[in-house]
Structures are given as structure tokens and as C-alpha cells.
Structure 1
Amino acid sequence: MLQRGLYLFRLLGIPIYLDFSFLVVLPLLALLIASNLPLYLKLFGLPQEELSGPWPFLLGLLAATGLFLSVLLHELGHALAARRYGIATRRITLWLLGGVAQLERIPKEPLKELWVAVAGPLVSFALALLFWLLRQEAGAAGFLTHYLALVNLTLGLFNLLPALPLDGGRVFRALLALRKPHLQATRQALALSQAVALALGLFGLLVMNPFLVLMAFFVYMASRADAEATLLAQALEGLKVKDLMTQDPIALPPSLTVAELLERSLLHKVSGFPVVEEGRVLGVVGLEGLEGADPRAPIARYLQPPLFLSPEDTALSALERMAERGYTRALVLEEGRLVGVLSKTDLLRAFQARLLGLSSLDRGPGPG
């Protein structure tokens, strides 16, 4: 999720990105704040001020920017807490519904996951207190300090909802994992997340709030993706590329025709092959890239650039790299020599087998 975006800068060594949806939501949020400025002033008990021309929008833009900067600091709290446990953050992305800190992995130890999860809300509550202490009682500074105190408090509380991938869902799973297997804790956290999402969506429909409905949809879909990623990481834990790859793969010469390739694919029940000439890997060719190909043409015409892996790479990192670049297979090299091919089918088979084993352990021993 959120792989695309505009690179902004590095903050404490962490790349910060801006998703393109942010460019749409920021001016819309600024307009929404500007149009409701009298209501905000009344809510905060501030004197009503007559603002005309571009000033309401500019004030709304400052408030919206402050909100997203607060979200950035919230995500930075997660990143720094994870760094304390030796877990790097690949990137922080600001997007339509806030921000996402993409950690290299979620801590397996429940207490570590608990502290990483609560770090973000703690930052939000600290910012809310700071702006409340710095609040002014009039003018633009008065509105901004009151607004940012309120939104940081709301941000912290909302993220503590017990639903994955929100912080509260991670806290709930970590607390469950203190006394039961992580797999079982993840499944129970997913069940609660789905219930919270449905309740949030129904409430949003009742009060006619499309933002709450959108958030409910996001929580529902993201909770499933989060749980699936957790199960995948646990199922592939400890496995390396060398454990799953097909060793000594069939390599084809670049002069082979497409028709001959199709014959070999049927014979060996393989959908893709590395193409090698004089010991040098030229690329890969797969059935998915041969639509409309001339059967008499050499396969060299339809080569695709390969993704190279090492036998010592972890299975999970291999899957992530293949998914990021859209590859269905990767070539495994050792000291420049082709030693294997790893396909998504190999990874899926390992995931299914290990997950069945984990599920059996999760249920505990049967009656003996």
C-alpha cells in the first residue's frame, strides 16, 4: 500500500513521502475549515472576527498543514520507538486519511509491539497538551492553537480504537499475545477490527458523515490486509530462498523459438524459464509475456529483465521484492552462477503448508 508518492526529504534518517491523494485533500480540507470558521470560533469560545477575501482560506490552509504535520510527528513516534528495538522504518507517507509509517517488520514480542503502538498516540497527546498550554485567546494564533490542541487530542483518541491497523488494534493484539499464541491473537484482533469497522460505518451512515463511512471502509479493508501480512510473515519465518527454490533450473538458449518454448513448457509443466548463453544470464521468458508472439521468432525477442536473489535472502524479503516489482518469478544467483528459480507458486505452497502447521499448534494438542 502507498508505494507511490512524491519524495520530500529525510527526517532523522527516515524518508518522508507525500502521496498524490494528499495534493487533493489538503486544499479541500482547507476550504472545509475556512467555511466552518465561525463554528470553530464559537466552539473554542473565541471572539468572532470578520475575515474576508483569501484570509479564511489561508487560515484553513495553515490549520490543515498543521494537522498533517501533527500526523507526521505521530508516525515519527512509531518510527523512533521501533528504532529503539532495532527495527528500521522504510518510509513515512502522508496520504488521504493521514499517515503511514512502513516498518521493516512488526515486533514479534508483545511488549515491544505494545510500546511501538502506543508511541504514536502518546506523541499526539503531548502535542495536544503543548498547544493547549500555548493557546491564545484571540486572532489567528488563538484559532490555530485551539484547533491543533483539539485535532491532536482527536487523533490520539481515534487511533486508540481497537481495530487493526490502528494503534488500538495493535495494542489489543499485543495484550492478547501476552497470554496466547500470536496467531490466535491476530485472528481475534481481526474479528474485533471487522466489528469496529462495521459499527463505525453504520454510525457514519446514521449521522450522514461520508468521512466516517470512508474511514470504516479503510479500517475494514486494511485490517484484513494487516492480518494477512502478519500471518504471512509468521508462516514464512525462518525460511530462506534456498529452502524453497527450484534447484538446477532448465535454462534455454536465446535462439530457441517461441513454438519450441511452448512445447517445453507443456513437457516440464513450467510457465517460465531463464535464458542463458555461455553461462551468462540474459533474462527470463514466461508464458505471460508471449501473447500474440510469432511462433517462429526466437525467444530472445521476448526477454524480460530478471530479478536476482541470493540463496541466503529470506523468503519474506524475496516475496516483498517480487510483489513490489510485479515479478512472478526470480532467478537465484550464487557467485554469479545460476543455481535456482523461485516462483510465487513456491512461496504460496510454503505459506499454505506452514500456516496449516501453525494452525495445528495454535489449537493445541488434541485429546490423547
Structure 2
Amino acid sequence: MFQRAIRLPFRLLGIPISLDLSFLIVLPFFAVLIGSQLPEYLRLLGLEPQPALTQGLTPYLLGLLAAVGLFASVLIHELGHALTARGYGVRTREITLWLLGGVAQLERIPRARGAEAVIAIVGPLVSLGLAGLCALLRSLSASEGGLAFLLGYLSVVNLSLALFNLLPALPLDGGRVLRSVLALYRPYLEATRTAAAVSRFLAFGLGLLGLLIGNLFMALVALFVYMAASAEAEQAVFSQALEGLRVRDLMTRSVSTVIPTLTVTGLLEKMMAERHVDYPVVADGRLLGMIGLEDLQGASPDAPVSERMRPPQTIGEYAGALEALQRMAEQGFAHMVVIDQAGNLVGILSKTDLLRMLQLRAAQLSMTDPRE
């Protein structure tokens, strides 16, 4: 989803944090929007629109602080998910902030009964806790100025964030709770399909409401929920279709390779003869790199391929097939080189290998009653 994300040079509690480019656009937009409507926000929070707050650059500075506080609240919400998942032995690849909030990308969904519901419900509970904390600090503060506005704004925002995420629609937390509860009584794939159907229905209603009242942001959120719910259902099919399969079960073991001392001319002749344009570079069975036609631009005909090769995209032979598919999809690989624990080349896995198995297993699943 986030191929244009910028990873920050630090981690929070050991978890990488990334900013999607859409976040860098929406943050200043929110700052200007809040700043331009500051008098209305102040009245809604029961504060008097003082000239010191509503004149000059002050409202836009407060808008920026409020927008940063909003996304900081989202980040803390996602950290709640990530730390709870860690308690179930599930690692979080990264947390990404983007246009519509934040996403904690877990390695997998734990299949222990009720685990997904526990992980999901922690996010809204964290947001409710933040809302209460901000409300308490505002009540204890004697300020009626900028600090009171920020605390009041963040209290309302976190309450809204908690309530919105409790909607029973995937990929929102409420949708994950719904799926987890359904999975207590029926197969996981069937539970996902039911939760996805409920999600699409709610997304349609939310989108229609957004269009009727002229709220384009609500309509955009509804579109995201609809698409994400469909993706969740598809992902569940993939997970079940590839369950129990490892890379070594699907890889091609016979791989044409080249040695690092082969010249560019020799490589081109090999490409012409074999009608292939990408080769692993191997010495004594050990994978050194990859060399392809695009790597030869401007190369001397007598240069060895070791001077032009690039780092290989590798995966272990005992890695799960679903992990391989996810990595290929996220990073845009058409194939990955398979290595053993010693770093020796043992095969190659293409996206075609995975999709072919997906088609076969999905057809098998479609002919089987999921309730059996």
C-alpha cells in the first residue's frame, strides 16, 4: 500500500515508523484548515475567541500543533495495537502515518481464539484513555488560551477516533473484533467473508451519507473502507490457500546461473541462446548477486559481470509461501532467489509459481463447504 513512504531514522519501542507522502501533504492542510476555523473550534469547546488567539499567525501555529497532536494520537493508538500483538509473539513490521490516519503492519494475524479481538480493542481503549487524560488536564489547568484549546481539541479528537474505530467494518478495529468473534463459531475464511460483507454495506451507507451532506472526506473514508474490506477477504483466501506451504515447495530448483568472471559479451551470447535476461551470479554454489540486461547499459564488452551485478532479492527456502507473496507484492519483485542457511543458491521463486498455486488451491477451496 505504502510504496512512497519515508522511513524515519529512529524507532519507537523497537518499531520502525514511516511517513507516507500523503501525510506530508495532509498535515499542513489540516494546520491551515484548523487555523482558518479557529474561532468556531474555540466556541465549540466553550472558549472565548480571544484576539490574541485569532489574529496574525497564532491561529495557524495552533492549527499546526493541533494537527501534529492529532497524528501523534493516531501513532499512540497504533502503538497500542503493536505492543499488544507483541504479547502474542507477533512482530510489527512498521507503523505508517498517512492521509487517513495510521496503519500498524503486523507480520500476521494471530489465530489464537479471540487474539485478534484483543489486539484490535486495545487501540480504541488507548484513544479513550488519551481523551480522558486531555480532558482531565484541561479541567486542572487555569488556562483559557492556546493550551486549553489544544487539550480540548485532542480530547474530542481522541474520543472521535475511538468511536469511529469501533464501527464493525474492516479494516477498522470494530471490524476486526467482529471477525474475531465470528471466528469463535465458524471457520476463519467464512468469518472474514461475513465481516467483509458487513463492512462493504456500512461503507456504502457511509459514502452515500458523505455525498448527501457534501462531506467529501467522509466519502473518501468510505471508499477506503470498501476497498480495504475487499482486500481483507482476498487476503484471507490467500492465507488459507497458501497455508502450510513453504518456498521450497514451490520454487524451481533448476536455475541457469553465470560465474562472476564471465564477460559482458559472453553474457549477451548466453542471453541470446537461452532467451533469458536475468541471471544469478554464483561462485562455488554461493550467490553473489544478480545480473540482467538493464545492468549492462554502458558496460565495456570485456568487463566481467561482477562489475555490473546488483544485490539479489533473496528469501530462505523454509520461509512461508504467503510471506514470499507479500514481499513480492509490497516491493514489486517478479521473482526472488531462494537460498539455504549457508547462503547457497538452491532455487528461484517467481510470482507466477505463487499465483498458479493460488489458483489451484482457491479452486479446491471453492469446491469445499467451509463449514465442513
What residue is the counterpart of 1:35 in the other structure?
Answer: 36
SS of 1:5 mapped into structure 2: strand
* 1:11 and 2:21 aligned: no
What residue is the counterpart of 1:2 in the other structure?
Answer: 2
- Contact 2:338–2:348 (CA<8 Å) still a contact in 1? yes
1:264 partner amino acid: E
1:179 partner amino acid: Y
What residue is the counterpart of 1:23 in the other structure?
Answer: 24
What residue is the counterpart of 1:55 in the other structure?
Answer: 58
Give the superposed CA RMSD.
2.9
Q: CA deviation at 1:284?
A: 4.6
2:75 partner amino acid: L
What residue is the counterpart of 1:77 in the other structure?
Answer: 80
- Contact 2:287–2:343 (CA<8 Å) still a contact in 1? no
- Of 338, 346, 360, which aligns to 1:339? 346
1:287-313 deviation digits (Å, cap 9, x = unpaired): 8x59999xx999959866432232222
Partners of 1:283 and 1:123 lie apart in 2 by 46
* 1:353 and 2:360 aligned: yes
Q: CA deviation at 1:192?
A: 1.7
Q: CA deviation at 1:355?
A: 2.6
What residue is the counterpart of 1:179 in the other structure?
Answer: 185
CA pair 362-71 structure 1, distance change in 2 beyond 3 A: farther
What residue is the counterpart of 2:241 in the other structure?
Answer: 235
Partners of 2:9 and 2:358 lie apart in 1 by 36
CA pair 45-61 structure 1, distance change in 2 beyond 3 A: same
What residue is the counterpart of 1:264 in the other structure?
Answer: 274
- Contact 1:245–1:343 (CA<8 Å) still a contact in 2? yes
5+ residue gaps, structure 1, are none
Partners of 1:297 and 1:362 lie apart in 2 by 62
Q: Please report the TM-score for the alignment, with normalisation by the length of structure 2.
A: 0.86
Partners of 2:164 and 2:268 lie apart in 1 by 57
5+ residue gaps, structure 2, are none
Partners of 1:146 and 1:189 lie apart in 2 by 35
What residue is the counterpart of 1:86 in the other structure?
Answer: 89
CA pair 343-216 structure 1, distance change in 2 beyond 3 A: same
CA pair 45-188 structure 1, distance change in 2 beyond 3 A: same
Partners of 1:221 and 1:114 lie apart in 2 by 21
- Contact 2:7–2:16 (CA<8 Å) still a contact in 1? no
2:21 partner amino acid: F
CA pair 189-302 structure 1, distance change in 2 beyond 3 A: farther
What residue is the counterpart of 1:117 in the other structure?
Answer: 120
1:42 partner amino acid: R
Identity %: 53
Paired residue total: 359
Partners of 1:283 and 1:147 lie apart in 2 by 53
Alignment of 1:81-230 (within 5 A): 81-136=84-139, 138-230=144-236
CA pair 190-259 structure 1, distance change in 2 beyond 3 A: farther
1:107 partner amino acid: P
Q: CA deviation at 1:78?
A: 0.5
Partners of 1:83 and 1:309 lie apart in 2 by 24
